[in-house]
Structure 1
Amino acid sequence: MFSVQTYQNRRSELQKRVSKGILLFLGNIENPINFEHNTYPFRQDSTFLYYFGISAPYIAALIDLDNDNTIVFGNELSIDDIVWTGQQESLKEKSLKCGVQDTRPFQQLALYLQQAKANNRTIHYLPPYQSSSKLLLGELLQLNPKDISPSASFIKAVVAQRSIKEPQEIAEIEKALAVSTEMHLLAMRTAQIGLQERHVTAAIQHYASDQNCSFAYPPIVTIHGEILHNAYQQNVLKEGDMILNDSGAETAMGYAADLTRTFPVSGRFTPRQRELYQVVLQAFEAARDSLKPGVRFKDIHLLAARHLVEELIGVGLMKGNPEEAVQAHAHTLFFQCGLGHMMGLDVHDMEDLGEQYVGYTEDEPKDTSTFGLKSLRLGRELQPGFVVTVEPGIYIIPELIDIWKKENKLSQFINYDVLESYRDFGGIRIEDNFLITDNGFRLLGPELIKSVEDIENYRINHVQ
């Protein structure tokens, strides 16, 4: 946990942003895998961590704005609990560490909220993303879960606060990135012809665990980099394959890293792989160098797309005017997703609160219908204190090519005949994490090798 003062200051700032009523915070529960007592690893709700820092299941908290009171609700361990888990730090002790004096049994929460409702007081709550939280909200507020209506003012207040990272949060993110950088170098050393993708994942998971970290998200370690969220890791590594490794560590305090590198199994890129890797790297560098306050991330996304098109024209996969091609969204045959997202306590920071609040604004809402843009998680103007990812890529998806080619879609920009020989190419992505500063940006964490030459030299020198 951070200092007591940290959590008190955060809650005090939040109270200034919402005028009256009760702010309700629900912690997460232990979710069963296949029966009640065999559960997934517990992960506390990130907003609860931000304001209270308590990583324990089956607790809740509220800030009573009208009475200037903060309460944590939960149950102390019974002797039956102690038999199974041993004596643990009490809820009272945990609460004092975040500056909350008032702790009460969990069952008193419902009565507190019912009395508030009876007095026509406003109860603010955030969007529940777990089924258990939806059911609990319905029970606490005597609502049909279908009628749950989160508080927009509460959401906006939390987003405004959590978006601007404190120096101590940046330090935690950089801890995660230090571990993640070593994970990626280990992956480059581990991957060899004849192994399976899962062997690489196992190696980096072991390393993260040794550093008291977990994965911030299920890692994507695959020779089929064209599959954006590929979870299958049973393929055997072969000569000529590239591995796309999208993996990041999460610190014990819940802060994430998110890095991607693509490298050749054999140690050297083929000429075609090298050529398209350079295309992605050039787009990455152009997008990175455009990061600064006041610039819309959507515009940086489109800038990266334009650079991809310009370079793909040089390769022979595209043709025509680059600006017109991007306006027609022709680049989405190769780059179907967004350039990046916010990052912090969540790898896709605060997306449980709604992209319309986190990545966009009411004045400039998200385009939810256009292929490519509908997958752009962040479009708003950047501000000092934001932490963002930049992750352009090229993804050659045979099924998508077949659909477009059959329709002769945007053939004025796509060289379909040339593209046929690339059908089995795969995918390439390069990703780093950045802090937006007052004047520009700062790369977070140690710099991880990304040039063709550095990757090839590292692979050749470290793999026997």
Structure 2
Amino acid sequence: MLTPTDQSCLHQRRHQLGQQFEGQALLWSGVAPSRNFAANQFPFRASSHFLYLAGLPLQNAVIGLEAGQLTLFWDEPHPDTALWHGPSLSRAEIADQIGAETHLPLSAVSSWASHAATLPVPSSATHQQQIEWLGRPVPPIQGSQDQESNRDHHLANALIQLRLQQDEFALAQLRQAAEITVAAHLRGMRSTLNHTSEAAIRAEIESVMMAHQCPTAYASIVTVHGEVLHNDAYPHALAPGDLLLVDAGAETPLGWAADVTRTWPVSGQFSATQRDLYDLVLAAHDACIAAIQPGVEFRDLHLLAAQTIASGLVDIGILKGQPEALVERDAHALFFPHGIGHLLGLDVHDMEDLGDLAGYAPGRQRCDRRGLRYLRLDRPLRPQMLVTIEPGFYQIPALLQNPDLRQQYGDCVNWDRLAQFEDVRGIRIEDDVLVTPEGCQVLTSALPTQAPEVEAYVQGSTA
């Protein structure tokens, strides 16, 4: 249920949208896809743009917005629904909850169809419904400038400006997601010595989220193969000497996400080589967070992480040369190929359904450089923006065994020295960081990052 404060925030969002976007807008919530037959469905997740303005995850609903006023289009549940799913609120009660001035059956959407802007939804069935009801194509929103005259493009830009900075309703949800995620990671650390498989640690972590009625915000990564950046399989045993990389985040029942990564030794103690590289990644993590304040370019944070990692790898002896020149050549990207982070909010990569339109400031586009091509965010930071900071070090065979890359960087990589670090497949440290007027606040700071404290949690020597 939404509180009066929540309802006030929703009203303010719609009022602000009305000031930035003229005309009618329709946003679909979507439907739960079927797994293998119609009645056996995957869990429902409403479209994030719908959730941002309606607040509740209503299935098969549409909201209409005009001049800050909200119309709910939704059909009353069939009487038989109560037999299988229990009683539900009426359309009038739902409309009162979300603060809709008007509520109508779903079929009444047709009265808005000829003039309304919209945004495409991930559900293919609902996307087809959008096309049929609006009588026009609803293509994906991209960052290309040739779409500036498109009304859907204008709606996307207006929503981006609202969603870039989190209001009090959002922050309350995001803090809740962060708190539950921290507790889940701590459970994973503390239970590691009692288990022998990735899957068992995943179960411990996700059980904490489930106990708070939170699904995962994305497929959890719980793996001893941290070099596989989006590893979503859990078949491996835990062996002495392994590092376990855990990237897992809770999503609140209203859809707001956390995104956190920690890496810890399954035996409870880093080896000397693991500790050297762990501390290097942590140095990049800490340097970026210390630099966050309004006006700082996120791209500069990425380059700061790259510079820190390159300098550390030179000190360790894995890279050879001047760190500045190595970063200019993108040599660091052999070991740190992804971006330093991304927006976080209702989506774990917030608003990434809009392509680079949300992540890249107007007039900017992705760079082809190896060290910059995967940067998800290229904007100056503003107060109340929430971002992730997640540097890493990985030994990815597809990169390190690529003959062209070995030739290109043969003069600056000490391959013999690198071989001494074979017990490090992947390390990543990630936190959720809120930009404040004075600097920043780490919402997930209760989860340890310093190696001795991480070891203590795994060993069970902390309270």
TM category, shorter: over 0.9
| 1:348-375 alpha-carbon deviations (Å, 9 max, x no partner) | 11111222x22111222222x3324221
Letter of the aligned partner of 1:448 in structure 2?
Answer: L
Q: In structure 2, how many angstroms separate the alpha carbons of the residues matched to 1:329 and 1:150?
A: 40
Q: In structure 2, how many angstroms separate the alpha carbons of the residues matched to 1:426 and 1:139?
A: 49
> Does structure 1 residue 10 correspond to structure 2 residue 13?
yes
CA separation of 1:260/1:69 partners in 2, compared to 1, >3 Å: closer, same or farther?
closer
| 1:174-199 alpha-carbon deviations (Å, 9 max, x no partner) | 11111111111111111137611010
Letter of the aligned partner of 2:103 in structure 1?
Answer: T
Superposed, 1:327-406 pairs within 5 Å as 327-355=328-356, 357-367=357-367, 369-404=368-403
Q: In structure 2, how many angstroms separate the alpha carbons of the residues matched to 1:411 and 1:15?
A: 57
1:53 corresponding residue in structure 2:
55
Whether the 8 Å CA contact 1:316–1:415 is kept in 2: the answer is yes
> Does structure 1 residue 23 correspond to structure 2 residue 22?
no
Letter of the aligned partner of 1:460 in structure 2?
Answer: Q
Whether the 8 Å CA contact 1:193–1:239 is kept in 2: the answer is no
CA separation of 1:153/1:329 partners in 2, compared to 1, >3 Å: closer, same or farther?
same
Q: In structure 2, how many angstroms separate the alpha carbons of the residues matched to 1:136 and 1:351?
A: 22
1:416 corresponding residue in structure 2:
415
- Secondary structure in 2 matching 1:214: coil
Shift of 1:420: 3.6
Q: In structure 2, how many angstroms separate the alpha carbons of the residues matched to 1:303 and 1:445?
A: 21
Q: In structure 1, how many angstroms separate the alpha carbons of the residues matched to 2:139 and 2:346?
A: 28
Shift of 1:36: 1.1
Q: In structure 2, how many angstroms separate the alpha carbons of the residues matched to 1:227 and 1:406?
A: 19
Letter of the aligned partner of 1:386 in structure 2?
Answer: M
Q: CA RMSD in A?
A: 1.9
Q: How many residues are aligned here?
A: 451
Q: In structure 1, how many angstroms separate the alpha carbons of the residues matched to 2:445 and 2:194?
A: 28
Letter of the aligned partner of 1:97 in structure 2?
Answer: Q
1:38 corresponding residue in structure 2:
40
> Does structure 1 residue 132 correspond to structure 2 residue 125?
yes
Q: In structure 2, how many angstroms separate the alpha carbons of the residues matched to 1:74 and 1:418?
A: 63
Shift of 1:74: 1.1
- Secondary structure in 2 matching 1:79: coil
Superposed, 1:90-109 pairs within 5 Å as 90-109=90-109
CA separation of 1:366/1:14 partners in 2, compared to 1, >3 Å: closer, same or farther?
same
Shift of 1:159: 0.8
CA separation of 1:404/1:275 partners in 2, compared to 1, >3 Å: closer, same or farther?
farther
Q: In structure 2, how many angstroms separate the alpha carbons of the residues matched to 1:188 and 1:272?
A: 21
Shift of 1:133: 2.9
Q: In structure 1, how many angstroms separate the alpha carbons of the residues matched to 2:444 and 2:268?
A: 25
- Secondary structure in 2 matching 1:262: strand
Letter of the aligned partner of 2:167 in structure 1?
Answer: E
Whether the 8 Å CA contact 1:193–1:266 is kept in 2: the answer is no
Letter of the aligned partner of 1:455 in structure 2?
Answer: V
- Secondary structure in 2 matching 1:107: helix
Superposed, 1:64-463 pairs within 5 Å as 64-65=66-67, 69-110=69-110, 112-114=111-113, 117=114, 121=115, 123-144=116-137, 151-192=152-193, 195-355=196-356, 357-367=357-367, 369-404=368-403, 407-423=406-422, 425-462=424-461
Q: In structure 2, how many angstroms separate the alpha carbons of the residues matched to 1:69 and 1:422?
A: 60
Whether the 8 Å CA contact 1:173–1:256 is kept in 2: the answer is yes
Shift of 1:84: 2.1
Whether the 8 Å CA contact 1:361–1:380 is kept in 2: the answer is yes
Shift of 1:211: 1.8
Say which is worse superposed, 232-241 or 40-49, in terms of deviation.
40-49
Whether the 8 Å CA contact 1:339–1:392 is kept in 2: the answer is yes
Shift of 1:424: 5.6
Whether the 8 Å CA contact 2:190–2:459 is kept in 1: the answer is no
Letter of the aligned partner of 2:28 in structure 1?
Answer: L
Q: In structure 2, how many angstroms separate the alpha carbons of the residues matched to 1:146 and 1:385?
A: 31
Shift of 1:141: 1.6
| 1:237-288 alpha-carbon deviations (Å, 9 max, x no partner) | 0100010011111112211111111000111101110010011011111111
**What percentage of residue pairs aligned between the two structures are identical?**
34
Letter of the aligned partner of 1:133 in structure 2?
Answer: T
Say which is worse superposed, 75-84 or 323-332, in terms of deviation.
75-84
- Secondary structure in 1 matching 2:434: strand
Give runs of ≥4 in structure 1 deviating > 4 Å. 144-150, 404-407
CA separation of 1:298/1:64 partners in 2, compared to 1, >3 Å: closer, same or farther?
same
Q: TM-score, normalised by structure 2?
A: 0.93
CA separation of 1:397/1:27 partners in 2, compared to 1, >3 Å: closer, same or farther?
same
Say which is worse superposed, 357-366 or 26-35, in terms of deviation.
357-366
Q: In structure 2, how many angstroms separate the alpha carbons of the residues matched to 1:45 and 1:156?
A: 17
Gaps of 5+ in 2: 142-149
Letter of the aligned partner of 1:78 in structure 2?
Answer: H
Q: In structure 1, how many angstroms separate the alpha carbons of the residues matched to 2:211 and 2:415?
A: 48
Say which is worse superposed, 97-106 or 274-283, in terms of deviation.
97-106
Q: In structure 2, how many angstroms separate the alpha carbons of the residues matched to 1:6 and 1:243?
A: 40
Shift of 1:412: 2.9
